[in-house]
A and B are shown apart, each in its own frame.
Chain A
Amino acid sequence: MISLATNLAQTGWPVPMAAPTLSHYLFVSAAMFVIGLIGFLTRRNLIIMFLCTELMFQAAGIALVAFSRYHLNHTGSTFVIFVLTVAAAEAAMALALIVLLFRRRESLDADEFSDMKG
């Protein structure tokens, strides 16, 4: 652990937050992911279910940027750009579908559409 701290001292990352900080960020990311997951499982409104998937994307993004900073390269941040791209594409498609589904049933309840299952 000592060598890790000195290694980080050369990198400009403030040493006092050396080792624990990565775990701090990973905890925030995991907690946000789990909150999004619970929301996706429990809420019945289609729009909020998609908001929760965005929340999970966001949690993954925090972990990626934290690792990117920890390793002092920008690959993680670059990947977050693609996560943003996929989130934008997903939002466009999913919301168009949601509007169509709403016009069909006048309801956003996910259980309304359970007759689609075989």
Chain B
Amino acid sequence: MDSIINPIIFYAACALGGVGVCLALPRGKRSVQILGAIIASMAGGLVLLGLGLKSPSQLPNIYFYIFSLISLAGALRVVTHPRPIYAALYFILTIISSAGLFLILSAEFMAFALVIVYAGAILITYLFVIMLATQAPTDEGVELLAEYDTASREPVVASICGFVMLAALSTMLFSGAPSIKPTGTASSDSSLLVFMPKKVENSLRNHGLMKPDEVLAKADSGDGYAIWTAAENSWVKVKDAAGTVRTIPGSEWPADLKVKNVEALGFTLLRDHPGSIEIAGVILLMAMLGAVVLSRKQVEIDEDAKMRHAQRLANPDGTTPEPNTAGGAR
């Protein structure tokens, strides 16, 4: 832990962050909330700065600080904003800056999937439900907030528990992380090229390394093509029309003949975890069925209400017209 951040700074910042988040949670007074948000963001900045300052020569990517500050501030605002719509919008901000963090980690596919699935699909569902399910009481054109949005439940206890947990988690992570050894090597990705003869062939052809009458040679074992990838010693064998075999060493391969992030992810997904895809499909199907079953009930109520409304319209004598809202029949 000492080699990563000064423990005193870290625990002080944790305490500060706890106080800040506790103050920033929704309550009657808006000025207290702003003060709390400032304290909490100062604490977050202090920790990130402390993480960087401990070893000035090892400053991580500056974009890491920008994206992580934005995502943590957005997360804080999700938790503290009294209006659900704004909380959802701040959650989109958090998602997009997390996608930036994923880009720094060179997980391009996950970054874009995150933006499409989370910001594009899930959050839109949330926004729809917020608009369907909130009827804020209005007073002279000004929307009032519901009581359950402005008052939080036991903010002090929750903040203490949360930040004690953060301190404990981070202590364990910081003392444990340096002893984790990375298992992969740089060449682990390019070994997948063996499974992509078409990509190898196209790339070699486009760069003029293969003549038009040449094709990839079959492997000696009979199945697949003669492509070999290793850290230092890679080669591919090509055969021309006359049957003469020629070897193109890895040192001559074009620079763009690499396995991209999406390709590697696809191979991991489909080759190593095919069962999980089936399970994910079943989960999504069940969720769809569940949502349909749950919302069918509402349709019946609506039909009921419509029928009564139609009857009222048919014989208006003796009945006072009522505003008929969706789901008004209960």
The answer on A and B forming one complex is yes
Residues of the A chain whose Cβ atoms lie less than 8 Å from the Cβ of B241: none
Across the interface, B113 reaches (CB within 8 A) one of A16, A31, A52, A81, namely A81
A99 in contact with B287 (CB, 8 Å): no
Report B-chain residues with C-beta under 8 Å of the C-beta of A73. Answer: 183-184, 188, 268
* Across-interface contacts of A45 in B (CB, < 8 A): 84, 146, 148-149
Write the nearest CB–CB distance from A44 to chain B, whole angstroms: 4
**Alpha-carbon distance between A82 and B272 when the two chains are bound, in angstroms:** 14
Is A116 close to B, CB under 8 A? Answer: no
Selected from B58, B94, B146, B158, the residue in CB contact (under 8 A) with A16 is B58
A62 and B98 contact, Cβ closer than 8 Å, known pairs A31-B72, A32-B75, A52-B78:
yes
Total interface residues in chain A, CB < 8 Å: 86
Q: Say if the beta carbon of B245 comes within 8 Å of chain A.
A: no
How many residues of chain B get a CB closer than 8 Å to chain A's CBs?
A: 109
Question: B297 on the interface (CB 8 Å rule)?
Answer: yes
The answer to whether B79 and A27 touch across the interface, beta carbons within 8 angstroms, is no
Whole-angstrom CA separation of A75 from B114 in the bound complex: 17
Contacts of A78 in B (CB 8 A): 265, 268-269, 272-273, 276
Minimum CB–CB distance from A70 to chain B (whole Å) comes to 5
A20 B4 Cβ-Cβ under 8 A = yes
Flag B268-300 by CB within 8 Å of A: 1 or 0 each: 110011001000100110111011001101100
The proximity string for A residues 66-109 relative to B, scoring 1 for CB distances below 8 Å and 0 otherwise, is: 10111111110110111011111111110111111011101111
Contacting pair B148 A39 (CB below 8 A): no
Choice from B4, B269, B290 contacting A92 with Cβ under 8 Å: B290
Q: A35-B21, A52-B79, A108-B146 are in contact. Are A20 and B60 (CB under 8 A)?
A: yes
Bound-complex Cα distance A111 to B154 (A): 13
Task: State the CA gap A44–B148 with chains docked (Å).
Answer: 6
Q: State whether B295 touches A38 (Cβ < 8 A).
A: no
Instruction: Assess the A72–B121 pair: CB atoms within 8 A.
Output: no
A51 touches B117 (CB 8 A): no
Given A16-B57, A47-B126; A24-B148 close (CB under 8 Å): no
On chain A, the residues within 8 Å of B284 by CB distance are: 85, 88-89
Which residues of chain B are within 8 angstroms of A8 by Cβ–Cβ distance?
182
Of the listed stretches B166-174, B196-204, B211-219, B308-316, name the one at the interface; the rest are far from the partner chain.
B166-174
A23-B178, A72-B183 given; name 13 further pairs at CB < 8 Å: A17-B59, A24-B60, A27-B51, A36-B79, A48-B87, A74-B265, A74-B268, A78-B269, A81-B113, A107-B146, A107-B148, A108-B133, A110-B148
Interface residues of B (CB under 8 A from A): 3-4, 17, 21, 25-26, 44, 47-48, 51, 54-55, 57-61, 64, 68, 71-72, 75-76, 78-79, 84, 87-88, 91, 94-95, 98, 101-102, 105-107, 109-110, 113-114, 117-118, 121-122, 125-126, 129-130, 132-135, 146-149, 151-155, 157-159, 161-163, 165-166, 169-170, 173-174, 177-178, 180-186, 188-189, 261, 264-265, 267-269, 272-273, 276, 280, 283-284, 286-288, 290-291, 294-295, 297-298, 301, 327, 330
Q: Which 7 A-B pairs have the closest CB atoms?
A: A72-B184, A39-B79, A89-B287, A109-B148, A41-B158, A102-B133, A96-B294
